[in-house]
Structure 1
């Protein structure tokens, strides 16, 4: 078995904290006093994500706070028009000013948690740079380089592959192949670390990479069979015996 000389990281749910963005948005909504379930928020989350992917020219200049505000704003617009009846009424009654305050509250809560996750990852990833080539492979909005620079993480990575910039999204093999080309490593010498079996582990493993599943909380329908290693925290990366 080849020696691992490079590590590729997912971003959302991996480098910025150990939870899926939908779950973190849900917690931020509830902290802001919005009564909503995960199932109710899911279509608004998907709508905002698709909108962000289609607005790369605008989003490319955003840091994390502006990105999250953009996404939350589109989530609220979806919920106001197509959300549960009770929530639609609440948001309508709140008026534009009330909705703006809620958007800011959700944004600030989400960004605060994200900033803490990125600060922690800085401490974890920094020492790895002396042992491995490092890269990030993410389904993102065209501003991943800016977000990593803002978080003082960019200096650690040889490759930053943003799906919206590349025009290829996980789990398509092309996004991983682009990262391998940038770090100039054969797949068998690379490990992919991410929180999704379907988007990170399975496609990476199919290309011949080692797959590390960051599973802070098991989610229904995800099977660790597509991962070579399962970890509960990003801190465990440094302890993996390759």
Structure 2
């Protein structure tokens, strides 16, 4: 990848820029059942379930809570060696999430490094974009978290009418950024959604995986880094001429 040509950086949203408290809620449910597990053990199980669904069940995660989450949590339970009534378990988690919203909090929160990293990239005159497979809740979440003002371009699949990895949504990214493919790098955590579609229009992708190659052993892909902070090491942070 030729980093010296990059003028714009586009990001996925979920588990790239923001995370949520699903691990903590799962841990609380286990505690209610008299089971104590370290948070990191549960986090790794969720990571492996994510990668399994990305690989084996493409686009299922974007179908919505009722359609996939009980199935997904069942996979997490299997990895942890437990078995529960999935309706009871996921209802508990959903009620806790609803309680968060009702108290003025968000289920989704930026990673601790997200805002600082984005601001540093903006200071270096990189144009920033968001391109995410998400429903109509994306913009309210971005606004609530005060992330929307950090981006020059925001493209949400529910608004555009198709999802990654369809190359047309990446082509739209180039059009809205007014950039060539060589000038853009895409950053995401889902190889199957993020890499093939971007590559079809000539955009290079930086793939995120917080556990090295855990969960994506079938792939021979580089570069892979733990999180977006590593952009500050990879990109030649020199000031580009501002776009008119």
State if a TM-score over 0.5 links the two structures: yes
Q: Of 11, 28, 32, which aligns to 2:29? A: 32
Q: Which residue of 2 aligns with 1:125?
A: 118
Q: In structure 2, what is the Cα distance between the partners aligned to 1:175 and 1:223? A: 24
Deviations 1:174-211 (A, max 9, x none): 11111111111111110001111111123212311121
Distance 1:30 1:160, change over 3 A: same
**Partner residue, 1:167:** 161
Report the Cα distance in structure 2 between the residues aligned to 1:89 and 1:172, rounded to whole angstroms: 33
Q: Would you say the 8 A contact 1:76–1:103 is kept in 2? A: no
Are the structure 2 counterparts of residues 115 and 40 from structure 1 closer, same or farther at C-alpha, using a change threshold of 3 Å? Answer: closer
Q: Relative to 1, partners in 2 of residues 1:107 and 1:173: Cα closer, same or farther, differing over 3 Å? A: same
Q: What TM-score comes out, normalization by structure 1 length? A: 0.67
When residues 216 and 159 of structure 1 are mapped into structure 2, their CA distance, relative to the original with a 3 A threshold, is same
1:13 corresponds in structure 2 to: 15
Q: CA RMSD in A?
A: 4.0
Q: What is the aligned counterpart of 1:137 among 128, 131, 136?
A: 131
**Contact 2:110 2:145 (C-alpha < 8 Å) held by counterparts:** no
Is it true that 1:153 corresponds to 2:150 in the alignment? no
How many pairs are equivalent? 204
How much does 1:132 deviate? 0.7
Give 1:214's aligned residue: 208
Cα gap change, 1:199 to 1:222, in 2 (>3 Å): farther
How far apart, in 1, do the equivalents of 2:8 and 2:23 lie?
A: 34
CA shift, 1:13, in A, is 1.2
Distance 1:189 1:146, change over 3 A: same
Residue 173 and residue 31 in structure 1: after superposition, are their counterparts in 2 closer, same or farther (change >3 A)?
A: same
Q: How does 1:65-80 map to 2 (within 5 A)?
A: 71=65, 75=69
Higher helix share: 1
Q: Secondary structure at the match of 1:123?
A: helix
TM-superposed CA distance for 1:77, in Å, is 11
- Under a length normalisation based on structure 2, what TM-score does the superposition of the two structures give? 0.67
Give unpaired runs (5+ residues) of structure 2. 36-41, 54-58, 237-244
